[in-house]
Amino acid sequence: MKEIITKTLKKHLKKISEEEIKKLIEVPPLEDLGDYSFPCFFLAKIEKKNPLLIAETLYEKIKKDLPKEIQKIELKSSYINFFIDKKVLAEEVIKEKEKKYKENKVLVIDFSSPNIAKPFGIGHLRSTIIGNSLANIFEYFGWKVIRLNYLGDWGTQFGKLIFGFKKWGNEEELKKDPINYLLKIYVKANEEIYEEEGRKEFRKLEEGNKENLKLWKNFRKESLEKFEEIYSFFDIKFDEISGESFYNEKGRDFLNILKEKNLIEESEGAKIVDLKKFNLGVVIIQKKDGALPYLTRDLAAVLDRFKRYKFNKMIYEVGQEQKLHFKQFFKILELADFDFFKNCIHVSHGLYLDDKGKTFSTREGNVVFMEDIIKETKDLAKKRIQKREPNLKIEELEKRASLIARAAIIYGDLKNYRENDVVFNISKFLDFEGNTGPYLLYSYARAFSIIKKFKEKKKIEILEINKEEERLIKKLYEFEDVVKRAFENLSPNLIANYSFELCKTFNEFYHAHQVIGSKEESFRISLVNTFRKTLKKSLNLLGIKEIEEM
């Protein structure tokens, strides 16, 4: 529709491009003002004429040859308002040609990326949810997407852990509850007095000491198995699970590159890159004991990714607290003449807060375990389902509870703009009414039950279109535009908010009008089905799986 309006306008506007016209077209705030409007005062500058005059002339010209999709136009001060022919719009929405995008581009997205031997933090959950949705959105537009999990599996902390495990640990206990167990050991070993021992063990690990390597491998394996449970709950699959450990040696090669470019300086035995000129401080790229820090491994890793994938975009979905890290990291790439630095972006997010508005991590030593959260959410979902359907079979209950819990957690996050903090409240997330994941699933199930009973007819007759139908048609029509905006702004929340509005509009329609047995039946059923399909697409883009019965 926007396209048609753009073309119509372009015929009479020579000095401005189609693209510019399209950008100017607005959706008016009130239904009375039409479906789209075009503000003419922007033209005043170009034409050097009075905007009212321009609007009037343009209006007269367009009125003379309106395309069939436009029912009428109106002139309101310097705006031209377009009223779309509802039937034409309805037909287009129902026909719903599946849009297939083809794009010869590669996105590598580094997300989730938890640290081994530590609990999967609630902060990593945000990265997991947002990152996965962004990956889906890029895929929708035809990009080849590499989902990459970059484990925090290297660094001096593993020296401490190995030291602690040798001193206090045993294999049996580790198997039972690996992450908890390793966390306890780490806390003990992290004391000042063991500093030197930890360093020693890490050096041995770096040098490839067999015993230390074996321990480390085992920690990694046990952790990964635990993480997999979380990924399988959210049905997230990675194309590549790598980690910092892969890039330790390559990090040393990268130091040579920086040396050749004369970017390295010595400072108190450490090697640094001075970024003060750019207001980014001084960055250590090799510690004085020779060990490499996080940032150096990131440098090596991105180069390797570029070599292997020739990415057009490289997204890091990581919390706000690493903003400086990524600025420094990208700046060093730029200084070292790696042109692809332009295509690297840090997509950051805010924190999860508890009901009291506090961050989770500050609760005195209280670590929140992701698996507990999932279990708690599922249990609560089960209770709520059973209240409505006490006799549901166990397997069905399990299945539904899982999908509802997943939708609740994902939507609870994604309905917020990612940079904002989110109050993590499971009970609210799980409300069956209100702005929640379960409400969306519920709307889907409702539409599904109608379609299941009454198949769409071949011949669809469109009679008069009422207000509620019109609103639903227009909402459905918005889908492509919304996904595009989510893509451009890297903001899945736009799709989340759209899904909610779409469901509200559908439910309003459904409450006001009979579908089955009405004389508009054929049309209304096809409208319900289009709603169902569009909602499914939206939910899937967020990483939520729809549910047929609720």
Footprint on this chain of ligand ARG (rule: CB under 6 A): 110, 113, 115, 150, 152, 298, 316, 318
Q: Specify the residue, 187 or 463, whose C-beta has the smaller distance to ligand ARG.
A: 187
Q: Which residue type occupies 207?
A: E
- Residue 113 vs 416, nearer CB to ligand ARG: 113
SS3 string, 222-271, reads HHHHHHHHHHHHHCCCCCEEEEHHHHHHHHHHHHHHHHHCCCCEEECCEE
Longest dimension (CA), the chain: 88
Residue 295 beta carbon to ligand ARG: minimum distance, rounded to whole angstroms: 8
Q: Which residues of 58-70 are buried (b: 16+ CB within 10 A; e: fewer)?
A: bbeebeeeeeebb
What's the min distance (Å) between Cβ of 150 and ligand ARG?
A: 5
If the CB atoms of residues 323 and 383 are measured against ligand ARG, the closer one turns out to be 323
Question: Could you tell me the smallest distance in angstroms from the CB atom of residue 8 to ligand ARG?
Answer: 48
- 432 phi and psi angles, rounded to 5 deg: -80, -15
CB 412 within 8 A of CB 437: yes
Q: How many CB atoms sit inside 10 A of residue 399's CB?
A: 14
CA angle 45, 50, 54 (to 5 degrees): 90
Residue 151 Cβ, how far from ligand ARG at the closest point, in Å? 7
Residue nearest to ligand ARG (CB): 152
User: Cβ 298 to ligand ARG, closest distance in Å?
Assistant: 5
The kind and range of the H/E element at 422 are strand 422-423
The residue (of 316 and 500) whose beta carbon lies closer to ligand ARG is 316
Rank residues 85 and 110 by Cβ distance to ligand ARG and give the closer one: 110
- Nearer to ligand ARG by Cβ, of 297 and 474: the residue is 297
Write down the least CB distance from residue 423 to ligand ARG, Å.
Answer: 22
Residue 319: other Cβ atoms inside 10 A = 16
Please say which residue, 247 or 432, places its beta carbon nearer to ligand ARG. Answer: 247
CA angle, 416 as apex, 413 and 418 as ends, to 5°? 85
| Contacts of 424 by beta carbon, 8 Å cutoff, 6+ apart | 122, 352, 353, 354, 360, 412
Residue 535 CB, shortest distance to ligand ARG, in Å, is 33
Provide the total of helices (H) and of strands (E) in the chain, helices listed first: 21, 13
Quote the least distance from Cβ 375 to ligand ARG, whole Å.
23
Cβ closest to ligand ARG, residue 202 vs residue 498: 202
